[in-house]
Amino acid sequence: MATPGVLQRETDLLLSSPLIELRKGENGKSRGLSIEKKIELLESLTGKVTNRRSRRWLNDRLLMELVPRLNAEEVRGLFAPPPWVDCRTREALRRSFLSDLIASYEDCIRTFIQERGHGDVLALQVQDPFHRLLLHGVCEFYNVVSVTVTQSKGAESLKVTRIKKKKTGVVELPNITLSNFLKMSKEGIW
């Protein structure tokens, strides 16, 4: 069991923790020194405390001191909604980012959404399986339905991807294009 003196030092340490509040007039260098002192104190206390619960509490405080504070953008990133496409497509887009191909698919789909009605179908012949996966990812980003079917012409079979608007609701174009979103994502901006 921890002595009252150790528990009092723990309480004082917790109340003066930089996680709770930064003291007035304290700059980054002095804050770093105070964190180092607190870490040393916590490490010295962990050897003296024999109670398992108190030791866990001290270890938690030690870990909190080691983790730097998050700024507003990092916290916002923790609670950001997931990206628009599923994880398999997102990984394919990130792994092999073909910006020209994705931009051309986007141009076709954006003009289709702006100029065509709900009953119209856009048919694209894409033979490469990876390019079809990218096309389906772009369609998912723009919230349109895409289905690939096989058409046979003699001995040849052609893959045709049919794209149409969803029946429910109005399809609106996002403010950012997928290619811009991927560029920002690769650079770490998004």
Summarised one tens digit per residue, pLDDT across range 40-90 is 776 676 666 667 777 777 777 767 766 777 778 777 777 766 556 666 666
- The residue among 76 and 190 whose pLDDT is bigger is 76
- Structurally, at CATH architecture level, domain 87-187 sits in 2-Layer Sandwich (3.30)
Half-sphere exposure of 93 (CA within 13 A, CB side): 31
Residue 122: pLDDT over 50: yes
Q: The whole model's pTM is what? A: 0.49
* Maximum mean pLDDT: which of 8-22, 55-69, 106-120, 160-174: 106-120
- The residue among 92 and 72 whose pLDDT is bigger is 72
Instruction: Report how far residue 111's alpha carbon sits from residue 122's, in angstroms, rounded to the nearest whole number.
Output: 10
29-42 CB burial, b ≥16 within 10 A, e <16: eeeeebbeebeebb
Instruction: Report how far residue 85's alpha carbon sits from residue 81's, in angstroms, rounded to the nearest whole number.
Output: 12
What pLDDT score does 23 carry?
A: 46
- The residue among 163 and 173 whose pLDDT is bigger is 163
User: What are the CA-CA distances from residue 5 to residues 11, 48, 58, 61, 151 (Å)?
Assistant: 10, 12, 15, 18, 82
3-state secondary structure (DSSP) of residue 93: helix
Of the candidates 121, 107, 106, 102, which has an alpha carbon nearest to the alpha carbon of residue 163? 121
How large is the average pLDDT for residues 155-164?
A: 88
Every domain of the chain and the residues it spans: 4-69, 87-187
What pLDDT score does 161 carry?
A: 92
Mean pLDDT of the chain: 74
- The residue among 6 and 54 whose pLDDT is bigger is 54
DSSP 144: E
Share of the chain above pLDDT 90, in %: 9
- Beta carbons of 68 and 39 less than 8 angstroms apart: no
